[in-house]
Amino acid sequence: MIVFDAGALVALEREDRELWADLRIAASAAVPVTVPAGALSQVWRGSPRQARLAMALSGCEIASFDIVARAAGELCGRARTSDVVDASVALTASYRSATHLYTSDPDDLRHLLMTLGERRVRVIRC
């Protein structure tokens, strides 16, 4: 299982070749890719320029924020941070037993995952 945060979506939109290759490999190996709804909302503008991003998203599951809303707030409190979207990304990775989390903000995501006691997720900068 792979989780993409907003930074990963921006990288896909900017044609990051490595990330596109990883996405193709995941698809060919039937590895699920999840995008938390909050991360998607940070990036999505619905313009024609996002056609490639829309194509990438067609193979991803969008994880609801509703399920993690309270837990995200609580995690922010424990971690002494304020970004509930980052917290929802960390929670989604933890709850879904992700093996990889792609982000442009690895330090914050590692901190949140460590606060959760989550050590299985490999955080990858994109």
Domains of the chain, by residue range, sit at: 2-125
Predicted confidence (pLDDT) per residue in 87-126, tens digit: 999 999 999 999 999 999 999 999 999 999 999 999 999 9
Quick one: DSSP state of residue 34? E
Considering the four listed CATH numbers 3.30.450.40, 3.50.50.60, 3.30.499.10, 3.40.50.1010, the one that applies to the domain covering 2-125 is 3.40.50.1010
Residue-averaged pLDDT of the chain: 97
Predicted confidence (pLDDT) per residue in 11-33, tens digit: 999 999 999 999 999 999 999 99
pLDDT of 100 reads 98
Single-letter residue type at 76: C
What is the per-residue DSSP string for 60-85? SEEEPSTTTHHHHHHHHHHHT---HH
